[in-house]
Amino acid sequence: MIKIGTDCSGMEAPIQAMRNLGVKMSHEFSCDVNPTARKTIAANFPHAIMYEDLTKRDNKKCPKVDMYIAGFPCQPFSTAGLQQGFKDKRGRGEIFFHILDMLEKVKPRVFILENVSGLKKIEKGMYMKAILKELGDLLGGSYNVQWQILNTKQHGVPHSRNRWYCVGILKDFDTGDFAFPEPIPCPSIELFLEERDPQLATTGLPRTTAKTSTRNVKLALKDIRKAGKNPFKQTYIVDCDSSTGRSAYANGVMPCMTCSRAAGHWVTSRGRRASKEEMMRLQGMNPTHFKVAVTQPQLGYQLGNTMSVNVLERIFVRLLPAAKLAKASELKDRWESGQAVKELSRTRGKGFKVDAVSSPTTPPCRVSKRRAGSTTPSPPLKRLRRMCPTKCAV
């Protein structure tokens, strides 16, 4: 039984990945400062202890775990932000030092830390070097530490999401066999999207009150047609909530989903925004296993913040045997074999496990034409955007 604890737990992507692998585990603790994240966790991931703020915890009292995972806040390191790093005025850069303290006190056999890829570049890599030095010196140099930038789209899910992943293995247990997963072919985005309604595809547009997103979608459609392509038949994804001029679109790949794009990017072949189920699949998550416990904008915010399950799962397949936590023969890379995508594509049209009790919106699969392009953020989303001032977009 592998004991696992997570900080900055969000949507518990690590627990989802471990479940997919069918590994026996005991989920010892979660921790998130955001009450809506805690709602999602409580509804979906039964655990022993829920901490509310990792900076206020006495790590000596934390349960011992074999695996510790934290996707710590990216804002102080985001290329879209002020890049204040450890000097972040809101104290978020300090979170890393609390994570370090946690590792020192609990001494898990393995840890995974995740952050935006911008971490590698800021101050010419100074912050990343400082982080790696601290991790390397931990407990007298007890851990072997490796890192790599991995993109979700190179690991079985068509979503362009570059993230920094750092893996530590206690030297006493390290077989020396760990290597980050190699890229695999990117499957078609059609396998992740709901069925196409041909009429909506050609008529759908964001609400006329949402001037910027409407303008961005119209400009993208014109541009794609000019290139001789049919955007209503071929799937282009438009980052329609960006300021005009910066709004980009991509063919067959979801541009990076972030918490500032909680309403979903525009899908030209569907004539509507990406639904929350589609956004889940594009993070490697199975919506039919997931109970929605928060509003749709809050769910969109969480989906923009989370680690991708496919990437974590592929890391775990290699990490658990390398740290003698599981036998290699017991674990399968479901993304490499195509099994995971097959399973996800079968969830299309099936919605979530249980519809949101508190969600005020209709189930997103059955998008009505009038609602399809809704872009006016509801008050909760506006509040959420204020909480994420740097927009984490990289």
Residue nearest to ligand SAM (CB): 10
Q: Which lies closer to ligand SAM via its Cβ, residue 263 or residue 309?
A: 309
- Cβ atoms of 37 and 8 within 8 Å: the answer is no
- CB of residue 284 vs ligand SAM: minimum separation in angstroms? 11
- CB of residue 238 vs ligand SAM: minimum separation in angstroms? 24
Q: Which lies closer to ligand SAM via its Cβ, residue 102 or residue 201?
A: 102
Q: Which letter does DSSP use for residue 328 in this model?
A: G
How far apart, in Å, are the Cα atoms of 10 and each of 55, 120, 254, 270, 300?
A: 16, 23, 21, 29, 12
* Residue-by-residue DSSP string for 46-76: --SEEES-GGG--GGGSPP-SEEEEE---GG
Q: Which lies closer to ligand SAM via its Cβ, residue 69 or residue 263?
A: 69
Closest C-alpha among 67, 23, 13, 3 to residue 332: 23
Q: Which lies closer to ligand SAM via its Cβ, residue 32 or residue 313?
A: 32
- CB of residue 110 vs ligand SAM: minimum separation in angstroms? 16
- CB of residue 367 vs ligand SAM: minimum separation in angstroms? 25
Q: Which lies closer to ligand SAM via its Cβ, residue 16 or residue 235?
A: 16
- CB of residue 392 vs ligand SAM: minimum separation in angstroms? 7
- CB of residue 51 vs ligand SAM: minimum separation in angstroms? 7
- CB of residue 14 vs ligand SAM: minimum separation in angstroms? 7
Residues whose CB falls within 8 Å of the CB of residue 97, separated by 6 or more in sequence, listed in order? none
Q: What is the C-alpha to C-alpha distance for residues 63 and 49, in angstroms, rounded to an integer?
A: 9
Q: Which lies closer to ligand SAM via its Cβ, residue 53 or residue 104?
A: 53
Beta strands in the chain (DSSP E): 2-7, 25-31, 49-51, 67-71, 110-116, 143-151, 162-170, 236-238, 249-251, 266-267, 272-273
The CA dihedral of 374, 378, 380, 386, to the nearest 10 degrees, is 80
- CB of residue 393 vs ligand SAM: minimum separation in angstroms? 12
Beta strands in 91-174 (DSSP E): 110-116, 143-151, 162-170
- CB of residue 379 vs ligand SAM: minimum separation in angstroms? 19
Q: Which letter does DSSP use for residue 259 in this model?
A: G
Q: Which lies closer to ligand SAM via its Cβ, residue 7 or residue 278?
A: 7
The alpha carbon of 103 is separated from its chain's Cα centroid by a whole number of angstroms, namely 23
CB neighbours (10 Å) of residue 327? 9
Residues within the interface to ligand SAM (CB under 6 A): 7-11, 13, 31-34, 37, 53-55, 71, 73-74, 95, 305-307
Percent helix, strand and coil across the chain, each rounded to 5? 40, 15, 45
Q: Which lies closer to ligand SAM via its Cβ, residue 76 or residue 271?
A: 76
Q: Which lies closer to ligand SAM via its Cβ, residue 61 or residue 370?
A: 61
